[in-house]
Amino acid sequence: MRIAIASDHAAVALKDVLVPWLEAAGHAVEDLGTHGTASVDYPDYGEAVAGALADGRVERGIALCGSGIGIAIAANRNPACRCAQVSEPLSARLARTHNDANAIAIGARLVGEEMAKACITAFLDADFEGGRHQHRVDKLSRKEFA
């Protein structure tokens, strides 16, 4: 799978663990930064993940910041992105199966490396169920939300 990943300075250490782990699992990973611990603005990195999804370069996105909240809000400003903040595998799986999320956000200050990996695995292994969920997801893409 083609995956975009980005983080702010608070989550760069987690990103640096996740990128090789994802690549070792056979995924093509586009690392959108940041690449150091100097303070940066999380909206720029949420926007980058959403942009990679919107232009079709990737199929899934992973957005990381200190809490996972700000970067999720930023990513969701792009109507092509449905980013769910997750902190455990069940919410990551449900984000895919019920909400057709194409990105997840994780807070590096709240979630450890192994839990982050478990969330990502659950997210990437799940498929959207469609059916009763489809019309709800369709509403998320209406112009009124853009």
Which residues are known to be catalytic?
65, 98
What is the number of H-type helices and E-type strands within the chain? 6, 5
Whether the ω angle into residue 37 lies within 30 degrees of 0, i.e. cis, is no
- Residues 84, 144, 8: CA angle, nearest 5 degrees: 35
Task: Note the Cα 116 to chain centre separation in Å.
Answer: 11
Three-state secondary-structure class, residue 117: helix
Question: Would you mind telling me the total number of residues written for the chain in this entry?
Answer: 146
Please report where in the chains the tokens 């057709």 appear, as a residue.
100
With contact defined as beta carbons under 8 Å apart, do 49 and 56 qualify?
Answer: no
* Phi, psi (deg, nearest 5) at residue 6: -150, 155
